[in-house]
Structure 1
Amino acid sequence: MFRSTTRKHRTVLTLLAAVLSATAVPMVAAGAAEAATGGRVCLFLDKEGAPFAGRTYGHVAWAIRDPKNTNHWIWGATENAEGDSYTAPGKNNGSWIKGGTWDDFRNSIKRDGHHRKGFYDAYRCINTAGGDLKAAQRTFHNMKNNGYQISHNNCLTKSIAIFRKYSPALSIKHLPDGQGVPPRNYFATTLDNARGWEKARTY
């Protein structure tokens, strides 16, 4: 009876270990996360960006990973070239797009002539089962000439639109609407209450 009880005890421990292993959340270093497989989108924050009328709204850039070639990323932003609260459609709204490796992205942010060193303060990401880079690129080009409006057609709302075209699985629960939400508040608070987003990382 003792041997039978011991065997049962070992079986229970084995099953428990398997369950714990399956449900454990892996701790992934920042570099390793960006090099993992599958789709992935990241939002970058400049918390001091977009100063207007005595208030700082914050500015964001977006980045998406090619799920078929995880060493390749596409990234961009809309930087309000006119510096006003509104830019009419057809005029330059400061949108740009680039592509390359994750390191290329990090270096381009720091070395690009339009940014000061360390322009973005932090970033946070979410993984997706897949992603459609071409759909995301089409969305960027469609919005490149549709103007700018500080609360409803800005760097954040354009980033969200690109993310959703890249992965329709990023529903409102994973990627809440950004209309009327300052980008710095969305990054720091809204995404804390959304599903699946990793904690902010500095770089």
Structure 2
Amino acid sequence: MNRPTTRKHRTVLSLLAVVLSATAAPLVAPGTAEAATGGRACLFLDKEGAPIAGRTYGHVAWAIRDPKNTSHWIWGATEGGKLHIDAGQDNGSWIKGGTWDDLRRSIKKDGHHKPGYYDAYRCINTAGGDLKAAQRTFENMKNNGYDIGFNNCLTKSIAIFRKYSPALSSKHLPDGQTTPPRNYFATTLDNASGWEKARTY
């Protein structure tokens, strides 16, 4: 093998190594809110929420990412305020849209909430997501009342997640009825498939 051929092979191998290393290495560190493409759903926890009879049961907010425009998110929560609210009455539901930074600023200081209202969040990636289906679900549920055990901030978040991505079956997103949001966030999701570890907010 002559010298020019050897040089040519070395050049090709070097270029190939550069291409392979570029495609193998992620552009964004995995596990961050902006990692990868496609859908993403996040649950935010206020561990001191829902104080009842000297105990706190926790409160959650939801957020989902537009798989076609990963810089855009929609998010919201149902605040309740009573143990039971009849259908048709205000159950404290709200929704917003914007970037991840907008989300973090909003969800910390929204309305009457003090800074640091939410303590932690955890996320799961999905192959895709239907924002319109999720928004329709939110619109339907904002008028269907509230119940501390069966129709609350957590069960509504789960319903929105499942409409956003039907792939979030009970294996990934167990039923949340009668489970305090604080327990669901910390324990139930630990045993569910695909959820990242909680991050301090």
Same fold (TM over 0.5): yes
- Residues 15-42 of structure 1 show CA distances to partners (whole Å, capped at 9, x for unaligned) of xxxxxxx9xxx96253xx4253110000
1:57 maps onto 2:31 in alignment: no
Whether contact under 8 Å (2:109, 2:117) holds in the other structure is no
Shift, 1:73, TM fit: 0.1
What is the rounded CA distance, in whole Å, between the counterparts of 1:54 and 1:90 in structure 2? Answer: 30
Tell me the TM-score normalised to structure 2 length.
0.84
Cα separation, 2, equivalents of 1:111 and 1:180: 28
1:158 is aligned, of 151, 156, 159, to 156
Task: Give structure 2 stretches of 5+ with no counterpart.
Answer: 1-23
Residue in 2 aligned with 1:195?
193
The question of whether the paired residues in 1 share the 8 Å contact of 2:130 and 2:165 is answered with yes
Q: CA RMSD in A?
A: 1.6
Question: Contact 2:130/2:163 (CA < 8 Å) preserved in 1?
Answer: yes
In 2, the alpha carbon distance for the partners of 1:113 and 1:142 equals 22
List per-residue Cα deviations over 1:89-108 (Å, max 9, x = no partner).
01110000000000000011
Aligned residues, how many?
Answer: 176
* Among candidates 27, 30, 47, match of residue 28 of structure 1: 30
- The aligned counterpart of 1:181 is 179
**Partner letter of residue 180 of structure 1?**
T
TM-score, length basis structure 1: 0.83
Kept in 2: contact 1:175–1:194 (CA 8 A):
yes
Q: Does 1:85 align with 2:87?
A: no
Quote how far apart the aligned CAs of 1:115 are: 1.0
Report the structure, 1 or 2, having the larger helix content: 1
Structure-2 separation of matches of 1:37 and 1:27 = 12
